[in-house]
Amino acid sequence: STPQPPRRGLFIALEGLDRAGKSTQIARLHDQLGGPSRTTLLKFPDRTTPIGKLLHSYLTSPQEQLDDRAVHLLFAANRWEVAARIRREVEQEGRIVLADRYAWSGVAYSRAKGLPLSWLFSPELGLPLPDLTLFLSLDPAVAAQRGGYGEERYEESGMQRRVRKSFGEVARVVSGSGANWRELDAGRGGVEEVWEMVWGAVRGVVDGERRQALNEIDV
């Protein structure tokens, strides 16, 4: 008989404002879930690809002029560059793919510049839908005290407050469409307390039932 593919893996995204603790928690998840032999860690924007290099230059040179819609499409294109890889690793290789930011950041940051929500979702439609999105919620004033702030284009308090509001809109649309969106209070304690919440949420999906194919973003 033909060999069956392994039980499919998982696709999990971490989202949140700047300094919410995404990279800290996702590194811990990566270890807990078996490290590089079982788990792939992706970060968006992926600044290593040609499109990612353009985005890096845009983020680090605030004087650079680029139309807001063009920027939005570049962030989305940077995800489409790895969409097939996510699907292959999860569905055929049984791996766990973790994303440090994803499409939801794409919509929320551009929304904070005043672009219409329906337009913003379009280039994200059809991308692999995470089995779980963990949104690390944090007061922008607390985030600003965590240091290393103010070097990139969006690291400014007015923008961070607008992004927090936009994430609220995104959360309503995304959970309303049936996606698995969990908000965690990332200001409730130190790294250890937040980790307990993160692992509690992830353990549930690791053990849970799932269909072989990943769903697509469809709001």
- The residues that touch ligand Z5A, with contacts defined as CB under 6 A, are 16, 18-24, 44-45, 59, 75, 101, 105-106, 109, 146-147, 154-155, 190-191, 194
Q: Could you tell which of Mg ion, ligand Z5A, none binds residue 105, using a CB distance below 5 to 8 A set by kind?
A: ligand Z5A
Which one of Mg ion, ligand Z5A, none is in contact with 219 (Cβ closer than 5 to 8 A by kind)?
none
Closer to ligand Z5A by CB, 149 or 175: give it: 149
Please check whether residue 79 is in contact with residue 23, taking contact to mean a CB–CB distance below 8 angstroms. Answer: no
Interacting partner of 155 out of Mg ion, ligand Z5A, none (Cβ under 5 to 8 A depending on kind): ligand Z5A
Which partner from the list ligand Z5A, Mg ion, none does 191 bind, CB cut-off 5 to 8 Å by kind? ligand Z5A
Asked if 8 contacts 210 with a C-beta cutoff of 8 angstroms, the reply is yes
Nearest to 160 by CA among 176, 143, 175: 143
Q: Residue 105 corresponds to which tokens in the numbers above? A: 């950041």
Residue closer to ligand Z5A by CB (options 50, 190) is 190
CB of 44: closest distance to Mg ion in angstroms? 10
Token representation of residue 179: 């996606």
75: DSSP letter: H
Give the shortest CB-181-to-Mg ion separation in angstroms: 19
Q: Cis peptide before 5, with omega less than 30 degrees from 0? A: no
To the nearest whole angstrom, how small is the minimum distance from the Cβ of residue 140 to ligand Z5A? Answer: 10
Beta carbon nearer to ligand Z5A, 125 or 213: 125
Closer residue to ligand Z5A (CB): 8 or 219? 219
DSSP state of 211: -
Is residue 13 within a helix (H) or strand (E), and if so which, with residue range? Answer: strand 10-16
Q: Are 73 and 54 in contact (CB under 8 A)?
A: no
Q: If you ran DSSP here, which 8-state letter would residue 122 be given?
A: G
C-alpha closest to that of 7 among 219, 210, 218, 153: 210
177 binds Mg ion (CB under 5 A): no
Q: Least distance to Mg ion from the beta carbon of 156, Å?
A: 17
Footprint of Mg ion on residues 16-55 (CB under 5 A)? 23
Dist. CA 146–CA 143, nearest whole Å: 5
Q: CB of 210: closest distance to Mg ion in angstroms?
A: 27
The three-state secondary structure class of 136 is strand
Minimum CB separation from Mg ion for residue 20, in Å?
Answer: 8
Chain positions contacting Mg ion, by CB under 5 A? 23
